Structure 1
Amino acid sequence: METIRLRSRSGEDGILHLDLPVTMKEVEWDVTVTIQPVAPPSQGKGYPAGFFEQTYGSCQDDPIIIDDEGIYEERDNGL
């Protein structure tokens, strides 16, 4: 048994054509095909491609306002 991995692209007609090199000529082969679409590339940290371009400036009409956080109170560590 031999495992051949390859990446191929379907055409505009929605058909995926496979040409597989084999080691012996004029031999009958039992072929199992598993297909899985390739995930689109992401822009790091799991964001989908185009995320930042699509969302940039989306809050310009309703800006996020950060309130004054006040003075940090000191706490006893209790050690």
Structure 2
Amino acid sequence: METITLNSRVGEDGILHLDIPVNMVNADLTITIILKPSDDFQQDNKPKGKGWPANFFEETSGCLKDTPLTIDSECWVSLPPPNLLAKRE
């Protein structure tokens, strides 16, 4: 048994193409493939902070400033009624 480690890239089509030299001819092989993202991929896609996406707070801060929320005594959130006469774009 031989272990071969390769670094390869998946194309935009989502298909991984492998060309593996095995130095054997006319042989039957059992092949096991383990996919492990590279360390660079894991670092680039790791959430920052405590799991919030990058710039989450900067992009969402104040998004409800024109829609005040009220919380009643049972902790139900009430939104103001929609303006049904408002012109839709």
- Normalised by the length of structure 1, the TM-score is 0.49
Higher strand share goes to which structure? 2
Q: State the TM-score, normalized to the length of structure 2.
A: 0.44
